[in-house]
């Protein structure tokens, strides 16, 4: 158990809809990373938050946004969903200064 | 820009045989290197990491990897494969001067034959 929690585990929705994915990092970790795993793109970094502020951005679509709240949990918002957004979405939080990242179980999003 | 190349999208070995999964990286600064394993319908689990110091690193489940700067490689090995090792393995690199975001290779699926 990595200590990183994600909800929901599965999400099925229709094109054009909006969903919110939730992540709680390990206790005491200030940083949250979001990754997308899809058949087309593989595993790619989306965005990082540190103590409530955006720290780095990767290949994140404009339709996607994220935030980190004072209690350090993070939400990834995906809007105007397309079939190609179907993927596994992981969040991760780092341990110690070498930043080995520990991953949550993921949310599997299916857009129909 | 950093990148990771994993040679072989599928590797098949017999139970008890040597496991060798290849990873080459590209980085303009000293990298941190990682191997993660993903079992079906599960998240990513850290197998091992290289940061600094000893270039041969040992991880969980009997796996080890050697950082070879001259070859820009970080291949993963295990002397004797078990059926339970069947999974997908990802090599990843992160820069030490940025946000520490992970750049992943495309993954290698390990099949273990009885």
CA nearest A55 in B: which residue?
A: B99
pLDDT, residue B94, reads 87
Q: How far is A73 from chain B (nearest CA, A)?
A: 18
Q: Which chain B residues touch A106 with a CB distance below 8 Å?
A: 43
Q: What count of Cα atoms within 13 Å lies in the side-chain half-sphere of residue B25?
A: 29
pLDDT, one tens digit per residue, over A58-95 is 989 999 999 999 999 999 999 999 999 999 999 999 87
For A14-70, write each residue's pLDDT tens digit. Answer: 999 999 999 999 988 899 999 999 998 999 999 999 999 999 999 899 999 999 999
pLDDT for the residue B76: 98
Mark yes or no for CB contact A100/B34 under 8 Å.
Answer: yes
Q: How far apart are CA B98 and CA B45, in angstroms?
A: 23
Q: What is the pLDDT of residue A97?
A: 63
- Given a cut of 70, whether residue B9 has pLDDT beyond it is yes
CA distance B114 to chain A (A): 28
Burial class (CB in 10 A: 0-12, 13-18, 19+), B67: buried
Q: Say what the pLDDT of residue B53 is.
A: 86
Residue B98 confidence (pLDDT) above 70: no
State whether A100 and B90 contact (CB < 8 Å). Answer: no
Q: Is A42's CB within 8 Å of B107's CB?
A: yes
What percentage of chain B has pLDDT greater than the value 70? 97
What does the alpha-carbon distance between residue A50 and residue A8 come to, in Å, rounded to a whole number?
Answer: 22
């Amino acid at each position: 158990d990595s200590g990183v929690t994600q909800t929901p585990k599965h999400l099925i929705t229709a094109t054009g809809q909006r969903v919110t994915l939730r992540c709680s990092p390990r206790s005491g970790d200030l940083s949250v990373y979001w990754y997308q795993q899809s058949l087309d793109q593989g595993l790619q970094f989306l965005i990082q938050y540190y103590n409530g502020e955006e720290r780095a951005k990767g290949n994140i679509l404009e339709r996607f946004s994220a935030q980190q709240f004072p209690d350090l949990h993070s939400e990834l918002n995906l809007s105007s969903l397309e079939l190609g957004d179907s993927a596994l979405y992981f969040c991760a939080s780092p341990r110690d200064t070498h930043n080995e990242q520990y991953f949550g179980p993921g949310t599997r999003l299916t857009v129909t | 820009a950093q990148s990771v190349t994993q040679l072989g999208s599928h590797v098949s070995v017999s139970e008890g045989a040597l496991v060798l999964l290849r990873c080459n990286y590209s980085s303009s600064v000293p990298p941190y290197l990682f191997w993660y394993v993903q079992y079906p319908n599960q998240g990513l689990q850290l197998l091992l990491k290289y940061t600094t110091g000893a270039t041969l690193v040992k991880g969980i489940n009997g796996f080890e990897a050697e950082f070879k700067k001259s070859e820009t490689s970080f291949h993963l090995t295990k002397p004797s494969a078990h059926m339970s090792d069947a999974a997908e393995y990802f090599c990843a690199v992160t820069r030490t001067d940025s946000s520490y975001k992970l750049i992943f290779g495309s993954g290698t699926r390990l099949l273990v034959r009885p």
